[in-house]
Structure 1
């Protein structure tokens, strides 16, 4: 239990970093002279570096265990947070985001491996959803508390205070967790890459992968990037008002993660739970596209629905595990996590370029955000169509290590 609490604390700070830009995006953009495309790339750089770092972190987790790996990598996040706080140019901020992404890279897979070793496949989605719901406290801290702190100290001083958190978590891993270093490790870079290639060759996963690319990406395009600028541009919302609305969305994400886990455990129909909840998310996106300026209360309601039903990542992971042999769980989760993060990077950077084009085309702010919500709805609908052809479960094409 002590180890699980420490892992949850690490996941909390990882979630905080994923969404922090949304609340203070207008202030960062003004201070660093960022346009929409640059803001999109800045936000996506965390997820892209997070995805790429799955290879070295996967090897490190196998060779050194979670205790040493997460404790060591957290210092990248510490230095990245400091660099972001003193950045005076776009490229310095970009490098800072990359370092933060690398620092958080081993956390999620480490938690999944921990749960996978201690719980049966039937309880995996439920326990994962419970841990992610508890870890969502970090996401909550990136809403109203961050907005109030930024208004009080400024966003730069706030980040300098926040960087103490990953430093503390690193120390907790070193001194509060027992060593989990494997006695023998045969993992190498070549072996890791071959194993990842085998995961991508599993045909039953091909119809699931589009949902990994799109589902979390759509959620984070709103929660992690555009919600703050949208509320500021359309409704002239202050940082505190933006923080309050995003806190409501974050609470709904935490509650929804837990409820989706319960639904999966109750009905034992993971695929259909994912499709039904994704349909509700799609409906909220379509309403935002049709009524982008109806009111901040209406927008908050749609955000709450998206948060409540949009975070189905644990269910997708549970579904995917039925296609993996046990010895492939670790790298399978690493590959699917990387795919999910790459999807976020693509959608955030792509949406940034779309918004920049809309600005240069002199479209109104309302029309710009209408285009954004249409894009996100289209991406999710396409992924849902592919996922509808997936198998409910299976083991026939599970790979074996050679």
Structure 2
């Protein structure tokens, strides 16, 4: 049952990174500016992130199976709309539908694991699920690049839509609703569930956590899911398939990063590690900004893929920063911040690239320096804003 649910998560990972391979052919067909390309890539993440709280409430009220079966068909419809899109506006509408359809894909996995597996196995099984789900990013590397180069970008959407339909059928056939926690004797109303998030935002340390969450995952996905292809193709003359090969390498190392950092969680010094790795990734973006050559750009891309695994430490920090009764809501808010951050960063870096091009500046230098600056700003907010206190927060340092 968990593997069936994970197939939807894997397709979600594929949809969120498709822009890296489709950017060049979409620009050629619709005459897109970098800003419009950022809007296209960000539309999925905005819809995905904006609905995290509502999907969490839906899981509480309707259950894992019903929530994903009701939402995921919109991803299939969105893929068809994107494949048939006659213009850019329809293409963006298709991305929004895909984002809504994929919104519960990972949440249903985590709730299923929490209800079906012993508590001591939650981290291990969740890590395995993240790793398997990340296989979806491999689809948007060489395989998608080869398919698009041999046919068209529209075929790529048809292929992902067909995969999504198969995933939905697997969930329909194999997944049964896991039992709700024994303590859940009464279902809250939608309004009551929304009100419960107020207590979370009333805590002063939430702002620093959200500020950093806004930029860390966004930096990796903006690079892997949007700028990787244009950077290699336009700056270094790579072919679509060659850039797909690099995307595969970044995705593979990105799969193992969370496992590596999860095994070496430093506990008491976790927050210092989080800040240190955020600044290290910012430095890699800064190095790539100054066009150090194809070899170093590829090395930088792979380094960001490996180092992005430290984001798993942010999950541990969130869990330690709140009372047990608030953990679920805290995770939902953290996830929402991550994906809304992706949407904003992709749109904003697209705007930066357009402005740079209009003024004769290197758009990739401008984009990469912007991401580096945002990472430094997020780390500064994390350090300077109020920190968690209390027994659960003590392990965060």
For residues 353 and 100 of structure 1, what CA distance do their matches in structure 2 show? 23
Identify which of 326, 348, 373 aligns with 1:378: 373
Post-superposition Cα deviations, 1:66-109, rounded to whole Å, max 9, x if no partner, equal 11111221100000001000101111011000000001101122
Residues 146 and 130 (structure 1), Cα distance of their counterparts in 2 relative to 1, 3 Å cut: same
Cα gap change, 1:98 to 1:269, in 2 (>3 Å): same
Deviates more, 1:178-187 or 1:166-175: 178-187
1:355 pairs with one of 338, 353, 356: 353
Q: How big is each residue's C-alpha offset from its partner over 1:345-364, in whole Å with a ceiling of 9 and x where there is no partner? A: 1111111111111121122x
Separation in structure 1 between the aligned mates of residue 171 and residue 144 of structure 2, nearest angstrom: 25
Structure 1: unaligned runs, 5 residues or longer: 398-402
Q: Which residue of 2 aligns with 1:195?
A: 196
Structure-2 change in CA distance of 1:395 and 1:83 (3 Å): farther
Three-state SS of the structure 2 residue aligned to 1:208 is helix
Counterpart residue number, 2:300: 302
CA gap of 1:383–1:192, structure 2 versus 1, over 3 A, is same
Asked if residue 147 in structure 1 is aligned to residue 180 in structure 2, the reply is: no
CA change 1:28–1:393 in 2 (3 A) is farther
CA contact (8 A) 1:248 1:300 kept: no
**Relative to structure 1, is the Cα distance of residues 281 and 125 closer, same or farther in structure 2, using a 3 angstrom cutoff?**
farther
- 1:284-338 Cα deviation digits (max 9, x unpaired): 1121123x2x322211100111010124333212211123333433332221111
Which residue of structure 2 aligns with residue 103 of structure 1? 101
Query: Would you say 1:68 and 2:66 are equivalent positions?
Result: yes
Count of aligned residue pairs for this structure pair: 388
Q: Distance in 1 between matches of 2:112 and 2:387?
A: 27
Matched residues in 1 for 2:377 and 2:235: separation? Answer: 28
**8 Å CA contact 1:62, 1:185 repeated in 2:** no
- Which range is displaced more, 383-392 or 171-180? 383-392
Offset of residue 254 of structure 1: 0.7
Q: What does residue 278 of structure 2 align with?
A: 278
Matches within 5 A, 1:258-337: 258-264=259-265, 269-290=269-290, 292=291, 294-337=292-335
Q: CA offset at residue 391 of structure 1?
A: 4.2
Equivalent residues in 2 for 1:204-283, closer than 5 Å: 204-264=205-265, 269-283=269-283
Bigger mean CA deviation after superposition, 337-346 or 155-164:
155-164
Alignment root-mean-square deviation, CA: 2.1
For the 8 Å contact 1:71–1:170, the answer to whether it is kept is yes
- Cα distance in 1 for partners of 2:178, 2:31 equals 46
TM-score between the two structures when normalised by the length of structure 2: 0.91
**Cα distance, 1:277 vs. partner?**
2.6
Q: Unmatched 5+ residue regions in structure 2?
A: none
Contact 1:280 1:305 in 2 (8 A): no
